Amino acid sequence: MVRPPRGWHSNWASANCAHLCEARPIHPYGQGVRLLQIALGGAVGSLARYGIDQTLPWSDGFPWATLIINVVGALAIGVVATTVVDMRPWVRPVVIVGVLGGFTTFSAFALQTGTLLDAGHVMQALVYLALTMVAGLVAVEIGAALGPRFRRVTS
């Protein structure tokens, strides 16, 4: 098995070239700087999520806050990943991995669905599950379809 050089291994282009399989230049900074950028973005995104969670509390009803957070995050990653991601090298670690990755969450979704199921609110849990999946996947498609239009307008 031929392994690529060490720098390529941890590089974004080789790890995540699923959508556009093309060679891209290695980023100008190392792994440490990238991790700091991701930590910074993740802190900002998680703080925004915590703020929305506090304003729309999930007491005993439907977990609207996490649903809105995940759907908005899916829409945003669709737009950002097709629009501004190649403009600057810091956009991917800071905005996509950091802010959007920290903003959206799967653990709260699993927690809420599992707790609803455990409490016997099966219908509510199934509606929440279906709504998150369908709305999230539709949102990312809408974002990915809108992104290139923004790009044409801005450039």
Partner 1 sequence: MMWLAVVAGAAVGAPLRYLVETSVTSRMRHHPWHQFTWGLHVVNVAGSLVAGVVLATTTGVLRALLLAGFCGAFTTFSGFAWRAHSLRVMSRSAWWWTIITMPTSCIAAFWIAWRLAS
CB of 153 to partner 1, least distance (A): 22
DSSP state of 93: I
122 near partner 1, judged by CB under 8 A: no
35 near partner 1, judged by CB under 8 A: yes
Nearest alpha carbon to residue 23 among 5, 8, 36 = 8
Q: Helix/strand/coil (H, E, C) string of 2-17?
A: CCCCHHHHCCHHHHCC
First to last CA, the chain: 42
> How distant, in Å, are the alpha carbons of 15, 52, 63, 135 from that of 112?
31, 16, 7, 17
Nearer to partner 1, 6 or 152 (CB): 6
45 near partner 1, judged by CB under 8 A: yes
140 near partner 1, judged by CB under 8 A: yes
The residues, any chain, with a CB within 8 Å of residue 107's CB and separated by 6 or more, are none
111 near partner 1, judged by CB under 8 A: yes
Instruction: Count the residues of the shown chain that bind partner 1, applying the rule CB under 8 A.
Output: 61
Residue from 27, 63, 83, 139 touching partner 1 (CB under 8 A): that is 139
Residues engaged in binding partner 1 (CB under 8 A):
1, 9-10, 14-16, 18-19, 34-36, 38-43, 45-47, 49-51, 53, 70, 73-74, 76-78, 81, 93, 96-98, 100-111, 113-115, 117-118, 129, 132-133, 136-137, 139-141, 144
